Structure 1
Amino acid sequence: MMRQYDCMNHERLRESISDSWTKDVLPSLSGLVEIPAVSPAYDAQWEEHGHLRAAVEHVRAWVTARDLPGARCEVVQLDGRAPLLLVDVPATSGAASDGTVLLYGHLDKQPPLGDWSEGLGPWQPVIRDGRLYGRGSADDGYSGYAALTALEAVRASGGEHARAVILLETGEESGSPDLPAYLDHLGDRLGEVALVVCLDGGGGDYERLWLTSSLRGGVQATVTVRVLEHGVHSGLGSGIVPSSFRIMRQLLDRVEDPETGEVKVPEMVVPIPEERRAEAAELAARHPGVAVPPLPLAPGMRRVVDDEAELILNNTWRPTLSITGAAGLPDPAVAGAVLRASTSLRLSFRLPPTVDAEVARAALEKILTSDVPYGAQVEVTDFMALNGFYAPAPSPWLASALEQIGDRVFGKPCQSMGIGGGIPFMELLGRRYPDAQFVVTGALGSDSNAHVPDEWLNIPFAVQVTEAVAHLLDAHARSASHG
């Protein structure tokens, strides 16, 4: 039987983590916020600009200064690929030597996007009322700091941990296109991964540890409809040449019901597992107003449906389409009487966790380019496709550890839920290490403003998440050592 945390001093663990966050983590994490490390998909000259490398070097310098016994810290960069940071920490003497714990996060960031509130800015770290504001603070620059601080605290409090590898990539916000190559390159060095802890997640509030049971996949593409070589006076061309926007509307109706928003691409739809329906119903009943994020609706605006369980399933298991960008459309203030030559839209489909994203991508391209009205030119380019993730059931040791984390760290039970976003790394690791245990969690809250202006990290909650990771590390080491 597994021994329960019988050697670790819990008060010492909590003190160590709290002190580290105050004295060491927050100053360095604030420095990381200052680096405009925009993900490669949003910065074509990322290598020339050097911001991703600067972010990696910044965290590397902090890790190296920690002087964790036996730890090796290395920047890994394959030709033409965004760099990553790899920290390899040997097991403590009382832990099993077989099996690797992989702790994952990322250092790349979303673009600034829009106007931030007065006194705040994307590259301007501001600590206010227990929050650290700045792009990448919560999503998820804190993750590497939390992982290493947890490892240090386990050792300082008499606990145990197996061999641990912290992997911080710089392409997650771009769909992690380089990760398969890095996993192949680092496969032998990683060894047999037994436990994966991903800190790029979060949940509905800051009162408990939220565990991600599933992640959606996605397909993104830019669709361009061209009807003219160049724009012409609308008085001359309208009624003779169809509007590129009208043809775009017809194409969109092929893939989405304009009345309900239901996605009509069969390859993007799967049956919802009964356990996920039950989970959604439980969430809606136990945490009304929490499981569904409180979004800033415009006055008079209603949600799609009133049933919160159905909203949860819409957000986690049903495909959706968002139009996230456009080209060929001038600002209304300067829009002249012109029949435009073309219209381009960026389509972003969120897919159910078990959909094959490549199959969905191919189906989408075929639907949009076949039998186009009036013979207009249609191009579908700039694809991004990523598969979702469906977490395996926790093993007995992990279920027991999570129960004790709920009691000792948060005072409330952990809660599982599906997430509407995606983390490409999880699906990749799930296929590579099918027998591993997965804990996808994190400090993000529904109001953390990830990807939008005024992103912020809840500092006290991030400290608790760090403590939870430390308990997981110790519980895993003892379960491996004692069966």
Structure 2
Amino acid sequence: MNTDAARRQIDQQWDTDIIPTLERYIEIPNQSPDYDPEWRTNGLLQQAVELARAWVEKQHLPGSRLEVLTAEGRTPMLLLEVEGDGEDTVLLYGHLDKQPPTEGWEEGLGAYQPVIRDGKLYGRGGADDGYALFATVSAIQALQAQGVKHSRLVTLIECCEESGSGDLEYYVDLLAPRIGTPGLVICLDSGCGNYEQLWSTASLRGVVMGNLTVQVLTEGVHSGDASGIVPSSFRIARQLLNRLEDPDTGELLPEWLKVEIPSYRVEEARRTAQILGDTIHTSFPFVPGMRPVTSDLTELMLNRTWRSTLSVTGQAGMPDVEHAGNVLRPRTSLKLSVRLPPTLIAEDVVPRLKALLEENPPYGARVTFDGVDGASGWDAPELAPWLRATVDEASRAFFGREACYMGEGGSIPFMGMLGERFPEAQFLITGVLGPQSNAHGPNEFLHIQTAKHLTGCVAYVLERYHAERKG
């Protein structure tokens, strides 16, 4: 493949065709099913899929077959198959569902308001993960335009990744004969440490989420009358969280939430810390005077990728401050998100976590930990020498710098499932979610130049994979 010609073609297509289509995609408020109970009837997920389907059809990919699969009660799945030279298969992945809009967008920006500013496309879902299908098709077209041979390509684009990919296994089972046994899996739903080189994800943390509810009364009562007699449900919730987390350091206390970090992953974190430097923490929008939990950059990387952590991401039972009266509230509910090391099994953690929080409640309060859901993390198999060399070559060809590897703090449920199904496959997990891109939060953006470079890298890897298989 002539990389200069591929770069020109990819850049032009992004500028004239892909970005305008992504802008229309951003305008669709298609939240993931967990956040939109009306998704079955409001047609927003279907609208996003139809936009993607129509765009792919317009590309007239030679040897392609495009299909939108639906099943009763399940989110739609877009399947794109492209014939290749030979029987070996590459599986590619992305998703079209979005997180909720959230508050805090800067003036002039909005979740469903596409804005291009300083080389970035702002709006919900452009980077996580609407761009993936467009980048995949553009990479295939770059190969086909030069007559470069490639393997058979199967692309799955799901619509419930942000809700834990609950429908994905059903579709993978359904499509198993058509998917076959891929020798390479490429996932474009991950992050990057900076926008200057190709980043390959080495591991992903798992997660367990649930609602901790503490009830002390059947109804609220005057705080002047009850305080000092009735324990506060909020104080009891704090006590229960202290069973789980050291309130001073943030370290999770149970030994069953800890793993021994492999020495090569520690060294990998050290190298990443050297490359990224203080941007590991300065990329976050800290308030003035705020500092990270430690000044040791390697420890920050390990905290983010290989250690369990707790976040309280929501609440119920507390009115807004402007509506809060002098009432001792009957209950407090907190949404807990417990991130797990890549090698911990989520289903083993759930009963232990539930017992830790529910057993022997202070003052005999009514305590429940329910609505529990979880997904295990993933530790990537070692890259074959040809793939490690190819990833580095691709990064140098399109970014101008060597490739880098790091763990990610988030979860991609798809990866653990595929790792079990295809243990002999090689994996390239990458993405455009770099510093301040803020997926799931306000001001999410797609770094356009990085998306273009990444598209070229995918084309490069597809070419070299096929050459390797033909050997």
Q: Same fold (TM over 0.5)?
A: yes
Contact 1:160–1:473, Cα closer than 8 Å, also in 2? no
One-letter amino acid of the structure 1 residue matched with residue 266 of structure 2: R
Distance 1:240 1:31 in 2: 57
**Which piece of structure 1 moves more, 100-109 or 174-183?**
174-183
One-letter amino acid of the structure 1 residue matched with residue 216 of structure 2: V
Give TM-score, length-normalised by structure 2. 0.98
Distance 1:159 1:266 in 2: 52
Contact 1:265–1:363, Cα closer than 8 Å, also in 2? no
Q: Which secondary structure does the structure 2 equivalent of 1:202 belong to?
A: coil
One-letter amino acid of the structure 2 residue matched with residue 114 of structure 1: E
The corresponding residue for 2:66 is: 73
Q: How is 1:293-308 mapped onto 2 (pairs within 5 angstroms)?
A: 294-308=283-297
The corresponding residue for 1:155 is: 144
Q: How many residues align?
A: 471
Change (3 A) 1:24 1:117: same
- Give how far 1:68 is off: 0.5
Contact 2:7–2:398, Cα closer than 8 Å, also in 1? no
1:54 matches 2:47: yes
Q: How is 1:102-141 mapped onto 2 (pairs within 5 angstroms)?
A: 102-141=91-130
One-letter amino acid of the structure 2 residue matched with residue 219 of structure 1: V
- Give how far 1:9 is off: 2.3
What whole-Å deviation, never above 9, does each CA across 1:127-156 have from its counterpart, x for those lacking one? 222111110011110000000110011111
- Give how far 1:285 is off: 2.4
Contact 1:261–1:320, Cα closer than 8 Å, also in 2? yes
1:344 matches 2:337: no
Distance 1:202 1:373 in 2: 42
The corresponding residue for 1:266 is: 255
Contact 1:292–1:312, Cα closer than 8 Å, also in 2? no
Contact 2:281–2:292, Cα closer than 8 Å, also in 1? no
Contact 1:220–1:349, Cα closer than 8 Å, also in 2? yes
One-letter amino acid of the structure 2 residue matched with residue 454 of structure 1: N
Q: 1:276 aligns with which of 258, 261, 265?
A: 265
What whole-Å deviation, never above 9, does each CA across 1:58-96 have from its counterpart, x for those lacking one? 1011111111112111111222111111111111xxx3x
Give TM-score, length-normalised by structure 1. 0.95
1:167 matches 2:160: no
Q: Which secondary structure does the structure 2 equivalent of 1:167 belong to?
A: strand
Distance 2:463 2:109 in 1: 39
The corresponding residue for 1:3 is: none
Q: Which secondary structure does the structure 2 equivalent of 1:88 belong to?
A: strand
Percent identity over paired residues: 50
Contact 1:108–1:170, Cα closer than 8 Å, also in 2? yes
What whole-Å deviation, never above 9, does each CA across 1:411-441 have from its counterpart, x for those lacking one? 1110001111111111111111001010001
The corresponding residue for 1:177 is: 166
**Which piece of structure 1 moves more, 433-442 or 403-412?**
403-412
Q: Which secondary structure does the structure 2 equivalent of 1:223 belong to?
A: strand
Query: Cα RMSD over matched residues?
Result: 1.2
The corresponding residue for 1:143 is: 132
Change (3 A) 1:266 1:44: farther
- Give how far 1:293 is off: 5.5
Provide structure 1 residue ranges, at least 5 long, that are not aligned to the other structure: 1-7
Q: 1:441 aligns with which of 430, 442, 446?
A: 430
Change (3 A) 1:287 1:449: closer
Change (3 A) 1:32 1:467: same
Q: Which secondary structure does the structure 1 equivalent of 2:292 belong to?
A: coil
One-letter amino acid of the structure 1 residue matched with residue 442 of structure 2: P
Contact 1:12–1:156, Cα closer than 8 Å, also in 2? no
- Give how far 1:98 is off: 2.3
Distance 2:263 2:205 in 1: 17
Change (3 A) 1:47 1:293: farther
Distance 1:365 1:399 in 2: 41
Contact 1:9–1:158, Cα closer than 8 Å, also in 2? no
Q: 2:81 aligns with which of 75, 78, 88?
A: 88
1:474 matches 2:463: yes
Q: Which secondary structure does the structure 2 equivalent of 1:112 belong to?
A: coil
Distance 1:479 1:154 in 2: 16
Q: Which secondary structure does the structure 2 equivalent of 1:417 belong to?
A: strand
1:36 matches 2:29: yes
Q: Which secondary structure does the structure 1 equivalent of 2:121 belong to?
A: strand
Q: 2:181 aligns with which of 192, 203, 209?
A: 192
Distance 1:400 1:159 in 2: 20
Distance 2:373 2:286 in 1: 29
What whole-Å deviation, never above 9, does each CA across 1:197-232 have from its counterpart, x for those lacking one? 111112121100011101100001011111111111
The corresponding residue for 1:257 is: 246
Distance 2:79 2:279 in 1: 36
- Give how far 1:291 is off: 4.4
- Give how far 1:235 is off: 2.3
- Give how far 1:407 is off: 2.3
Contact 1:202–1:210, Cα closer than 8 Å, also in 2? yes
1:333 matches 2:322: yes
Distance 1:260 1:298 in 2: 19
Contact 1:83–1:170, Cα closer than 8 Å, also in 2? yes
